[in-house]
Amino acid sequence: MTIDISDEVQAALDARKPLVALETTIVSHGMPWPQNLDTALEVEEIVRDGGAVPAAIAVLDGRIRVGLDRASLEQLAHSKETLKLSRADLAYGVSSGKPGATTVAATMIVAARAGIRVFATGGIGGVHRGAEHSFDISADLGELARTGVIVVAAGAKALLDIPKTLEVLETMGVPVVCHGTDAFPAFWSRDSGLPAPIRLDDAAAIAAFADARDALALGGGMLVANPVPAADEIP
């Protein structure tokens, strides 16, 4: 087994405490130093303040790591050679021994292997504009269709073709739940101009929905779109 689970995360798993998986590409590729490290640490603190244990995921020294200490986050934040790992190259990250940060898809895979059911991120990937010519569709969508993790995000990234992204998710049987809003959000905006496929207003209702899907053995994950606060959005 190439997965190393930190003592804190393992203790939470054993005690059945709430856990939230976190991706690491925002640390390695999404923001400049030192804002990338500051943001990663702040996100972990927000998770803790909410009563859960954060489980950041990455590949270091040929091992998949679930739960990172500050030194590991700093390594990802500083390194210029960190791989960006999705389903297609997650195993290469392990076999090469190079440091690797996980995307939404890879984070879902590892979280599911580790027994973590909830993953929080900024925005998912999706269908790129002009995909009818380029076939540029994020692996995130396929992963949502096959891996049983609840992904909480501020919708799909605004630069995408969001109508096509929602169509593909529907075709793949991935439920899209909008938390407390009748509009599907677009990453930094609260309203993409598209209606919420399903609206649920509290965590208990979302958990009940997930339990019902498990009871029906439907497989795959769920996207929970939680819009940014109104004071922070870009219209």
Q: Which residues are identified as catalytic?
A: 23, 157
Query: Phi and psi dihedrals of 191, rounded to 5?
Result: -135, 115
Determine the 3-state secondary structure of 155 from DSSP. Answer: strand
3-state helix, strand, coil in the chain (%, to 5): 40, 25, 35
DSSP tag of 157: -
Cβ-based neighbours of 72, under 8 Å, separated by 6 or more = 58, 60, 65
- Separation of alpha carbons 9 and 169, rounded Å: 31
Cα Rg for the chain, rounded, in angstroms? 17
- Separation of alpha carbons 88 and 45, rounded Å: 31
